[in-house]
Amino acid sequence: MSRTTIVDDALAGLRLSALRDAATPPAAFRAHARALGALLAREALRDLPAREVEVQGPLGPATGRVPAAGVVAVPVLRAGLGLLPGVHDLVPDASVGMIGLERDEETLLARRYYCNVPPVDGAWVLLLEPMLATGGSAADALDQFELTRAAAVSVLSVVATQQAIDHLGTRHPDVDVVTAAVDPGLDGQGFIVPGLGDFGDRVHATP
Protein backbone atom coordinates (compact mmCIF):
# COMPACT_ATOMS: atom_id res chain seq x y z
CA MET A 1 0.00 0.00 0.00
CA SER A 2 1.39 3.41 -0.95
CA ARG A 3 2.28 6.02 1.64
CA THR A 4 1.68 9.76 1.41
CA THR A 5 4.14 12.03 3.20
CA ILE A 6 3.44 15.75 3.54
CA VAL A 7 6.60 17.79 4.04
CA ASP A 8 5.12 20.75 5.88
CA ASP A 9 7.90 21.99 8.13
CA ALA A 10 8.92 25.64 8.29
CA LEU A 11 11.53 25.44 5.52
CA ALA A 12 9.21 23.68 3.10
CA GLY A 13 6.45 26.10 4.05
CA LEU A 14 8.70 29.05 3.27
CA ARG A 15 9.37 27.73 -0.24
CA LEU A 16 5.76 26.73 -0.89
CA SER A 17 4.46 30.13 0.21
CA ALA A 18 6.75 31.84 -2.29
CA LEU A 19 5.67 29.45 -5.05
CA ARG A 20 1.99 30.11 -4.33
CA ASP A 21 2.52 33.89 -4.41
CA ALA A 22 1.48 35.28 -7.81
CA ALA A 23 3.96 38.12 -7.35
CA THR A 24 7.01 35.81 -7.22
CA PRO A 25 9.06 36.49 -10.41
CA PRO A 26 10.35 33.61 -12.57
CA ALA A 27 13.96 33.67 -11.31
CA ALA A 28 12.85 33.52 -7.68
CA PHE A 29 10.20 30.93 -8.56
CA ARG A 30 12.89 28.66 -10.03
CA ALA A 31 15.10 29.11 -6.96
CA HIS A 32 12.28 28.20 -4.57
CA ALA A 33 11.28 25.22 -6.74
CA ARG A 34 14.88 24.00 -6.70
CA ALA A 35 15.12 24.29 -2.92
CA LEU A 36 11.78 22.56 -2.39
CA GLY A 37 12.82 19.81 -4.79
CA ALA A 38 15.80 19.07 -2.55
CA LEU A 39 13.58 18.97 0.55
CA LEU A 40 11.11 16.59 -1.11
CA ALA A 41 13.92 14.37 -2.38
CA ARG A 42 15.48 14.30 1.09
CA GLU A 43 12.26 12.92 2.51
CA ALA A 44 11.78 10.39 -0.29
CA LEU A 45 15.35 9.12 0.11
CA ARG A 46 15.36 9.06 3.91
CA ASP A 47 15.81 5.27 3.97
CA LEU A 48 18.25 5.07 1.05
CA PRO A 49 20.86 2.45 2.03
CA ALA A 50 24.44 3.62 2.58
CA ARG A 51 27.89 2.06 2.68
CA GLU A 52 31.04 3.21 4.40
CA VAL A 53 34.02 4.53 2.45
CA GLU A 54 37.36 5.97 3.45
CA VAL A 55 38.26 9.45 2.26
CA GLN A 56 41.57 11.21 2.55
CA GLY A 57 41.16 14.51 4.37
CA PRO A 58 43.67 17.36 4.75
CA LEU A 59 44.81 16.00 8.12
CA GLY A 60 44.39 12.29 7.50
CA PRO A 61 41.90 9.60 6.51
CA ALA A 62 38.27 9.70 7.60
CA THR A 63 35.31 7.37 7.34
CA GLY A 64 32.43 8.57 5.19
CA ARG A 65 29.16 7.24 3.84
CA VAL A 66 27.82 7.14 0.31
CA PRO A 67 24.60 5.74 -1.20
CA ALA A 68 24.62 1.98 -1.67
CA ALA A 69 21.95 2.13 -4.38
CA GLY A 70 21.47 4.23 -7.48
CA VAL A 71 18.97 7.07 -7.75
CA VAL A 72 17.03 7.74 -10.95
CA ALA A 73 15.15 11.04 -11.28
CA VAL A 74 12.44 11.15 -13.95
CA PRO A 75 10.90 14.58 -14.54
CA VAL A 76 7.57 14.65 -16.35
CA LEU A 77 8.14 17.26 -19.05
CA ARG A 78 8.16 20.07 -18.86
CA ALA A 79 7.12 21.12 -15.37
CA GLY A 80 9.11 18.38 -13.66
CA LEU A 81 12.36 19.97 -14.81
CA GLY A 82 11.82 22.64 -12.16
CA LEU A 83 12.46 20.11 -9.37
CA LEU A 84 15.40 18.35 -11.01
CA PRO A 85 18.16 20.81 -9.95
CA GLY A 86 17.16 20.33 -6.32
CA VAL A 87 17.42 16.55 -6.66
CA HIS A 88 20.90 16.95 -8.14
CA ASP A 89 21.87 19.29 -5.30
CA LEU A 90 21.10 16.40 -2.97
CA VAL A 91 22.32 13.51 -5.16
CA PRO A 92 24.76 14.83 -7.79
CA ASP A 93 25.23 11.38 -9.34
CA ALA A 94 21.52 10.71 -9.85
CA SER A 95 20.71 9.39 -13.32
CA VAL A 96 18.01 11.20 -15.28
CA GLY A 97 15.22 9.93 -17.49
CA MET A 98 12.48 12.02 -19.07
CA ILE A 99 8.87 11.43 -19.96
CA GLY A 100 6.86 13.86 -22.09
CA LEU A 101 3.10 14.01 -21.65
CA GLU A 102 0.60 16.47 -23.13
CA ARG A 103 -2.80 17.11 -21.62
CA ASP A 104 -5.81 17.30 -23.88
CA GLU A 105 -7.61 20.44 -22.70
CA GLU A 106 -11.02 18.94 -23.49
CA THR A 107 -10.68 15.42 -22.10
CA LEU A 108 -7.94 16.27 -19.56
CA LEU A 109 -6.26 12.98 -20.56
CA ALA A 110 -2.50 12.71 -21.12
CA ARG A 111 -0.80 11.75 -24.39
CA ARG A 112 2.82 10.55 -24.38
CA TYR A 113 5.13 12.19 -26.90
CA TYR A 114 8.56 11.28 -25.45
CA CYS A 115 10.02 8.62 -23.17
CA ASN A 116 13.68 7.95 -22.37
CA VAL A 117 14.28 6.31 -18.99
CA PRO A 118 17.54 4.60 -17.96
CA PRO A 119 17.51 1.14 -16.33
CA VAL A 120 15.90 1.24 -12.91
CA ASP A 121 17.03 -2.18 -11.66
CA GLY A 122 17.69 -1.88 -7.92
CA ALA A 123 17.39 1.93 -8.06
CA TRP A 124 15.40 4.41 -6.02
CA VAL A 125 13.19 6.15 -8.57
CA LEU A 126 11.88 9.69 -8.13
CA LEU A 127 9.12 10.72 -10.53
CA LEU A 128 9.04 14.53 -10.58
CA GLU A 129 5.48 15.76 -11.17
CA PRO A 130 5.05 19.13 -9.42
CA MET A 131 1.25 19.36 -9.73
CA LEU A 132 -0.67 16.17 -8.92
CA ALA A 133 -4.12 17.27 -10.02
CA THR A 134 -6.00 14.13 -11.08
CA GLY A 135 -3.02 11.78 -10.81
CA GLY A 136 -3.63 10.59 -14.35
CA SER A 137 -0.43 11.97 -15.87
CA ALA A 138 1.74 10.60 -13.07
CA ALA A 139 0.08 7.18 -13.31
CA ASP A 140 0.51 7.17 -17.10
CA ALA A 141 4.17 8.13 -16.68
CA LEU A 142 4.71 5.28 -14.22
CA ASP A 143 3.21 2.89 -16.76
CA GLN A 144 6.16 3.61 -19.07
CA PHE A 145 8.82 1.68 -17.15
CA GLU A 146 9.19 -1.54 -15.19
CA LEU A 147 8.55 -0.55 -11.58
CA THR A 148 8.96 -4.07 -10.19
CA ARG A 149 12.70 -3.88 -10.90
CA ALA A 150 13.15 -0.72 -8.82
CA ALA A 151 14.02 -0.83 -5.12
CA ALA A 152 11.58 2.00 -4.34
CA VAL A 153 9.48 4.49 -6.31
CA SER A 154 8.22 7.86 -5.12
CA VAL A 155 6.30 10.64 -6.82
CA LEU A 156 7.54 14.08 -5.78
CA SER A 157 4.99 16.88 -6.07
CA VAL A 158 4.74 20.44 -4.86
CA VAL A 159 0.96 20.34 -4.48
CA ALA A 160 -1.43 17.38 -4.76
CA THR A 161 -5.13 16.66 -4.34
CA GLN A 162 -6.60 13.73 -2.46
CA GLN A 163 -8.24 12.70 -5.72
CA ALA A 164 -4.80 12.33 -7.33
CA ILE A 165 -3.37 10.47 -4.35
CA ASP A 166 -6.30 8.03 -4.39
CA HIS A 167 -5.95 7.52 -8.14
CA LEU A 168 -2.25 6.74 -7.83
CA GLY A 169 -2.94 4.41 -4.93
CA THR A 170 -5.33 2.45 -7.13
CA ARG A 171 -3.15 2.35 -10.25
CA HIS A 172 0.22 1.97 -8.51
CA PRO A 173 -0.28 0.86 -4.90
CA ASP A 174 3.45 0.35 -4.27
CA VAL A 175 4.38 3.91 -5.21
CA ASP A 176 4.76 6.52 -2.47
CA VAL A 177 3.80 10.19 -2.76
CA VAL A 178 5.88 12.96 -1.20
CA THR A 179 4.31 16.41 -1.42
CA ALA A 180 4.42 19.79 0.27
CA ALA A 181 0.63 20.19 0.45
CA VAL A 182 -2.70 18.52 -0.28
CA ASP A 183 -5.15 21.10 -1.64
CA PRO A 184 -8.95 20.81 -1.59
CA GLY A 185 -9.66 20.07 -5.25
CA LEU A 186 -9.81 21.18 -8.89
CA ASP A 187 -11.52 23.92 -10.83
CA GLY A 188 -13.48 23.42 -14.05
CA GLN A 189 -10.28 23.41 -16.12
CA GLY A 190 -8.58 20.76 -14.03
CA PHE A 191 -6.23 23.13 -12.17
CA ILE A 192 -5.55 22.64 -8.46
CA VAL A 193 -7.29 25.16 -6.19
CA PRO A 194 -5.78 27.18 -4.62
CA GLY A 195 -2.65 25.59 -6.10
CA LEU A 196 -0.12 27.97 -7.60
CA GLY A 197 -1.15 28.32 -11.22
CA ASP A 198 0.60 26.61 -14.12
CA PHE A 199 3.90 25.39 -12.65
CA GLY A 200 5.47 24.80 -16.06
CA ASP A 201 4.63 28.29 -17.31
CA ARG A 202 5.88 29.92 -14.13
CA VAL A 203 9.14 27.99 -13.85
CA HIS A 204 9.98 28.49 -17.54
CA ALA A 205 8.68 32.10 -17.74
CA THR A 206 6.20 31.41 -20.54
CA PRO A 207 2.79 33.07 -20.86
Domain regions of the chain by residue span: 4-47+68-103+112-204
**Among candidates 133, 182, 129, 131, which has minimal Cα distance to 153?**
129
Residue 103 banded pLDDT, cuts 50, 70, 90? low
Read off the amino acid at residue 153.
V
Rounded Cα–Cα distance for residues 39 and 83 (Å) = 10
**Among candidates 78, 49, 42, 83, which has minimal Cα distance to 66?**
49
Rounded Cα–Cα distance for residues 87 and 33 (Å) = 11
Rounded Cα–Cα distance for residues 168 and 136 (Å) = 8
Phi, psi of 43 (to 5 degrees): -70, -45
Residue 165 CB partners (closer than 8 Å, separation 6+) = 4, 132, 135, 177, 182
Residue 71 banded pLDDT, cuts 50, 70, 90? very high
pLDDT of 178 reads 98
Residue 64 banded pLDDT, cuts 50, 70, 90? very high
Rounded Cα–Cα distance for residues 36 and 57 (Å) = 31
Q: 11-26 pLDDT, tens per residue?
A: 999 999 999 999 999 9
Reported as half-sphere exposure (CB side, CA atoms, 13 A), residue 72 has a value of 24
Alpha-carbon distance values, 108 to 68, 77, 136, 195 (Å):
40, 16, 9, 17
pTM of the model: 0.92
Average pLDDT over residues 34-50: 97
Q: Is the pLDDT of residue 165 over 70?
A: yes
- More reliable by pLDDT, 108 or 18: 18
Evaluate whether the domain defined by 4-47+68-103+112-204 bears CATH number 3.40.50.970. Answer: no
Rounded Cα–Cα distance for residues 76 and 114 (Å) = 10
Alpha-carbon distance values, 53 to 63, 65, 83, 94 (Å):
6, 6, 29, 19
pLDDT more than 70, % of the chain: 96
Q: Assess contact for 137 and 101: CB atoms under 8 A.
A: yes
Residue 159 banded pLDDT, cuts 50, 70, 90? very high
pLDDT of 156 reads 98
